[in-house]
Amino acid sequence: MNRRYIQKLGFTFAIYWRLIAIQMRAQVQYRVSFLLEVLSAAITMSMFFISLSLVFARFGNLAGWTLGEVAFLWAIVEVAFGLMDMIFSGFDPINFGRRVRQGTLDQLLLRPVNITIQVLGDDFVLRRLGRICEGFIIFAVALKLAHIDWTLGKLLYLPCVVIGLVCFFGGLFIVGATITFWTVDSIEAMNILTYGGSEMLSYPAHIYPDWLRRTFMYIVPALFLNYYPALYFLHKPDPFGLPAIMPFVAPLVGIGLLWGSLVFWRFGIRHYQSTGT
């Protein structure tokens, strides 16, 4: 790598940092209002898990999984989705679609800075900390209830699983945003993958009908991102008898999907035609 390349990379990151620093400063400007937003997000989001646990008392288990084990899945998805929603908000198809529709994307394209970095720095939603906090609380519940035998390997692998999921959901946002180049409006069907996917991954995969599970294993490989790693962490047998390596492909799958989405994004940018508004 030559020096100029490294310099350029440094410049790009400096720009990104500047962009999100402005966002963050603006968002915490009204301190009380900001804290209330974070708190209220944490409360409303945790109500779902609290009600699940209240209902769990009546049933005892979910297809062989205890509350603590479901909490493990749930917590990882919440933390990852919250992080993704905070970082990748610029690519949120709803916001990005508005940019395409109103033609404000053209402004970004005229600037001499990498377009991907600009869109990424376009929005950084700090109040998602509420959802992330909620995820950590549920993770604490999982730790207390699920009795995981921690090893060094597991400890090191856990952040990789979260990163894999962040990449996966981020990739979905990027694909959704890119599609708006052609459709102009954000397509609601992408919600099935993003919000639907996060809901789906919060429960063990073997509860779903076969066609649905297969779709989310082999077409959209979402279930390798947290269900299989969870089998490893919770020391559970694989009900589908896949090779023993499967719990460990999560980071690769996540990064691969993000990379693929960026390729699609660049293709979209090259073919972008302004709406003219």
Partner 1 sequence: MRLFWELTKLSFQRQLTYRAALVAGLATNLFFGILRASVLVALYGARTEVAGMSIRDAITYTALTQGIITYLSIFGWYDLMNSIASGEVTADLLKPLSYFRFWLAQDLGRAIVAFFLRGVSIMLLYMLIYDITLPHGIEQGLALTAAFSLSWFVSFAWRFLVNLAAFWTPNAKGVGRFAFGIAWVLSGFFMPLRFFPAWFITLCNFTPFPSMVNTNIEIYLGLLTGAALWQALLLQVVWAVGLTLLCQAILRRGVRHLVVQGG
Site for partner 1 in 256-275 (CB under 8 A): none
The amino acid that residue 68 corresponds to is G
Closest contact distance (angstroms) between CB of 169 and partner 1 is 16
Count residues near partner 1 (CB under 8 A): 37
Across-strand partners of 65?
62
Query: Would you say 59 and 138 are in contact if contact means Cβ atoms under 8 Å apart?
Result: no
Q: Is 21 in the site for partner 1 (CB under 8 A)?
A: no
Q: Is 63 in the site for partner 1 (CB under 8 A)?
A: yes
Site for partner 1 in 166-195 (CB under 8 A): 187-189, 191-192
Closest contact distance (angstroms) between CB of 204 and partner 1 is 8
Task: State how far the Cα of 101 lies from the Cα of 257, in Å rounded to an integer.
Answer: 27
**Hunting for tokens 């894999």 — which residue is that?**
164
Query: Which of these ranges, 17-25, 39-47, 142-150, 246-254, lies near partner 1 under the rule CB under 8 A?
Result: 39-47
Coil vs helix vs strand at 98: helix
Contacts of 246 (CB under 8 A, 6+ apart): 224, 228, 238
The token pair at 108 is 């970004």
Closest contact distance (angstroms) between CB of 170 and partner 1 is 20
Q: Is 219 in the site for partner 1 (CB under 8 A)?
A: no
Closest contact distance (angstroms) between CB of 202 and partner 1 is 9
Q: What is the dihedral of CA 179, 181, 183, 185, to 10 degrees?
A: 90
Which member of 6, 11, 44, 214 binds partner 1 (CB under 8 A)?
44
Which member of 14, 43, 252, 263 binds partner 1 (CB under 8 A)?
43
Task: State how far the Cα of 141 lies from the Cα of 66, in Å rounded to an integer.
Answer: 12
Which member of 22, 212, 252, 263 binds partner 1 (CB under 8 A)?
212
In sign, the C-alpha dihedral spanning 197, 201, 203, 207 is positive
Task: State how far the Cα of 116 lies from the Cα of 249, in Å rounded to an integer.
Answer: 27
Query: Which of these ranges, 2-10, 18-26, 60-68, 160-168, lies near partner 1 under the rule CB under 8 A?
Result: 60-68
Binding site for partner 1 (CB under 8 A): 30, 33, 36-37, 40-41, 43-45, 47-48, 50-52, 54-59, 61-63, 187-189, 191-192, 196, 199-200, 203-204, 207-209, 212
